[in-house]
Each structure stands twice: as C-alpha cells, then as structure tokens.
Amino acid sequence: MIKDLSKPPRLFIYFLIPVCVFLGFNKHGRDTQNHHRVIWADAAGYYVYLPIWFIHGNNPSGFPQNIEKETGDGFQFNEQKEKVITKYPCGVAILQTPFFLASHVLAYSFSHKKTGFSLIYHWGIIIAASVYACLGLFFLFSFLSQFFKPKIAFFTCLLLLTATNLYYYAIDASGMSHVYSFFVFSALLYTGFKLFRTEKLLLGIVFGLLCGLAVLIRPTNLLFIVFIMLMSWNDLGANKGSLIKKLLNKPSLIVVLLFAGLVTLIPQMFYWKDVSGSLVHYSYTNEGFTNWLNPKLAQIWFSPNNGLFIYSPILLLSVIGTILMIAKRKHIGILIGVFFLVISYVFASWWCWWYGCSLGSRSFIEYYTLLAIPMAWLFSNLKTKNQIITITIAALVCVWLNFDITYYYDGCFYGSEWDFKSYFYLLKD
C-alpha cells in the first residue's frame, strides 16, 4: 500500500544542512592553495563557467594570471583563440549559480577580490554541496517513504550519508559533480513517481528540466533516465506499468518533457558553439571507453584502488536485497540487478577505471539513490531480533570504516591495483 507523505521530516533541511556546512568549513574553509582546495582540478573545470558567465566572459585576458595552474589545470586557456577551454559540461555550474551569485554580492561587502576565485567563492561551493546533499537525502526519503515505513526510509538515507563516500564528496570534495547528480537523481525518482501517478503537465516540465540537468552534469547520467522510464512500480505497491507507458499514452507530456529538457541544454550548446564552432562537441578528446572488450569489473568493485565495495561495504546490503527481491520474483529487483551490472560495465570500461584521486568508486555515488531501494526493502523484511541486531552492528562498523578513512585520507591511493597493504595502512593510520 502506498503511504501518503504530506509532512516529510525536516531534519534533512533544518539540522543536517547546518551540520554539513559546519563540517565543510571545518575541513577546508581556508584552504585554497593545494589539491585539497574546493575549486581544484575537475571541480575547477565544472566551476569555470560561472566566472565566464558572470564576470570575465570567455576570454583568458580577464582572468587572474596563472589561475588555471593555481586551480589544478581543471581548465585551460587558449590564448590564440582567446577562449577558456573546459572539457566538463555545465550542469554543476548551473546548480552552483545561486551560491556563486550570493558569494559575488558578499565579496563587495567583505572586501574580497571579485575574481570568482577568492576565498568567499570557495565558501559558496562548500555551502552548495551541503545543501544539495541534504536536499538529495530529503527527496530520496520522500520517495522511499511512499513504499516503506518512514523509519526504514530515514535509516536508509542516513546510512547512505554516513557509511558511504557520499559523505566525502559532500564535505571534502564539494566541488565535484557527484553530490549534484545525487540531488538530481533523487529529485527525478520522486518527481517521476508523482508524474506516473498524476500525469500533470507541470510535473512533466520539472521532470524534463531535471533530465536535462542530469545529462549536463554527467552525460552517462542518461542511463539513469532510461531506468526511471522503464521502472515498474507494481512491485513497490503502486499501480502497474511504467512511466514510459504512461507517457506514450499522453503525447502532450512527451512534448513538454522533451522541450524542457532541450531548453536546459542551450547554455552548453552555446558554449560549444563558441569554442568549437559546433553546437554538439565531444570535449574529452583522447579520453574514452577504451576497455569495452576488457572491462575492469573486479577492480571497480573490489580493488583497494577505489573499489566500490572495499570503501563502501554497506552497499553489499543493497546487493543482498537485490538478490532476495529477484528470488521473490520482484521485477524491480531484476531491473535493478541488470541496471547495476550495466552501469558497472560502463564505468569499468572507462580508460581510467579508478577515476583518479578518488575515495572509493565515485562514479557510483549518484546511483546510490537506486541502490537505496533494495537496501530499504531488505531492512523492511528483517524478521527476527537477531537479524536486526546483526544488521545494526554491521551498519555501525561500516560507518566507523567510512569516517576512519575519510578523516585520514589524502585524496589519492598511492598503492598499486591490488595493494591491500596500502589500503589497510589507511585504516591503521
């Protein structure tokens, strides 16, 4: 039976956001000079659209001298063409825009340099990541509470924050894309289910905008949109069918959704047109999925060099839940299992399967929204006191492991592919 959610708890908004902001500032509020800074490397590549749009224009001459080097070469200057070049799409920058503008206004009041890169702009990104992480948990709770008891939904969301590398990317690496994708995915799940039930045009617009944002944050996020379209709700107690069937029966919704999604893509197309001369451009040049025929599946799951289950073993509960759902002939369990294998194959096929200086397999973080479903289903089907105690102890161990590594982590794994000695050194340190 579907549970009506009229008043979801405000804990994620009123308590967790201030706590996460405090933790973010405590971690690196004044750190702007090395690889631990907020606007650094990939994060700088996502962020640079904001100084382009609102301060300097797409011309290196307006930027601070050597700023591309000082921010870890996340973007480059093409002096000949007088363009700022970033290979990363602009979805993260769109979501960071309100916080950037607030920082820019405050820069006048507090006498900070109004370059887009001084300390106050770093503060804005710290706050942005905390807000979107907590809003993502809020929407995920709102979605899960439609099908599971609120305490189950809350416990699941809390574990995703405290026992996985979602915490690291919300607090430590707050300029990276994953927290923003996590928010968009959670909102897509919740909005997609509401659209499935009500078929309202306004929800179609919101859903379309979220789909466009998801693709603009990371192009591979398109896979998640496919999953939502195919997802069957009857196994969770809703009406039978999938969102794609509902949309096919109502063409006006398809038109609205596609239009909203395409509108979201316009800023990116304008930028590509400016730097490449084409509205559609593959900006990653020589990087690509070079391991299609030799995917590093074992490594991406179990290698001490950022393996998914090595750094976030709590997700094994999602795997167990998925297997049990399949055993119970839950079609959504089969879909989640197949989809997990698909995204694992895609991520394991990328040329840099360990994804650089990461904590765990960061490419999966936004997909924790999906893995939350079998985890919550497992919790809701615990029958005995011993089962509850066992799961609780395992969860607490995973929380301890996550915090232990997070607060002694330097940002890069310095061992080899299967070097467990270096991994255990992280735990001992």
pLDDT reported for residue 203: 92
Is residue 115 included in any domain, yes or no? yes
Is residue 220 included in any domain, yes or no? yes
Query: How many domains in the chain?
Result: 1
Is residue 4 included in any domain, yes or no? no
How does pLDDT run across 234-273, given as a tens digit for each residue?
Answer: 656 545 667 888 888 888 889 999 999 999 999 999 999 9
Q: What is the pTM of this model?
A: 0.94
Confidence band for 2, pLDDT divided at 50, 70 and 90: very low
Confidence band for 4, pLDDT divided at 50, 70 and 90: very low
Would the pLDDT of 8 be above 70?
A: no
How does pLDDT run across 302-356, given as a tens digit for each residue?
Answer: 999 999 999 999 999 999 999 999 998 888 898 999 999 999 999 999 999 999 8
Instruction: Name 31's Cβ contacts closer than 8 Å, sequence gap at least 6.
Output: 37, 38
Confidence band for 5, pLDDT divided at 50, 70 and 90: very low
How does pLDDT run across 147-156, given as a tens digit for each residue?
Answer: 899 999 999 9
Average pLDDT over residues 276-300: 92
Is residue 40 included in any domain, yes or no? yes
pLDDT reported for residue 295: 96
pLDDT reported for residue 391: 95
Is residue 86 included in any domain, yes or no? yes
Q: Give the long-range contacts of residues 403-412, CB within 8 A, separation 24 or more.
A: 403/162, 403/167, 405/311, 405/359, 406/165, 406/167, 406/168, 406/171, 406/172, 406/359, 409/168, 409/172, 409/359, 411/35, 411/36, 411/173, 411/357, 411/359, 412/356, 412/357
Name the more confident of 389 and 14: 389
- Which of these, 63, 89, 87, lies nearest to 75 by C-alpha position? 87
Angstrom distance (rounded) from CA 364 to CA 181? 10
**Helix (H, G, I), strand (E, B), or coil: what is residue 270?**
helix
pLDDT reported for residue 286: 84
> Measured between alpha carbons, how far is residue 351 from residues 74, 81, 111, 308, 311 in Å?
18, 29, 44, 17, 21
How does pLDDT run across 32-83, given as a tens digit for each residue?
Answer: 455 568 999 999 999 999 999 999 999 999 999 999 999 999 999 998 889 9
The secondary structure of 223-239, three-state, reads HHHHHHHHCECHHHCCC
Do 261 and 211 contact (CB within 8 A), yes or no?
Answer: yes
Would the pLDDT of 409 be above 90?
A: no
How does pLDDT run across 89-146, given as a tens digit for each residue?
Answer: 999 999 999 999 999 999 988 888 899 999 899 999 999 999 999 999 999 999 999 8
**Helix (H, G, I), strand (E, B), or coil: what is residue 115?**
coil
Q: Which residue range(s) make up the domain with 232?
A: 11-280+291-428
Helix/strand/coil percent split, the chain, to 5: 65, 0, 30
Is residue 1 included in any domain, yes or no? no
Would the pLDDT of 1 be above 60?
A: no
Supply angle C-alpha 228, 244, 338, rounded to 5.
45
Average pLDDT over residues 186-214: 93
Is residue 286 included in any domain, yes or no? no
pLDDT reported for residue 131: 96
Is residue 285 included in any domain, yes or no? no
> Measured between alpha carbons, how far is residue 393 from residues 56, 68, 136, 212, 229 in Å?
53, 46, 26, 40, 36
pLDDT reported for residue 33: 55
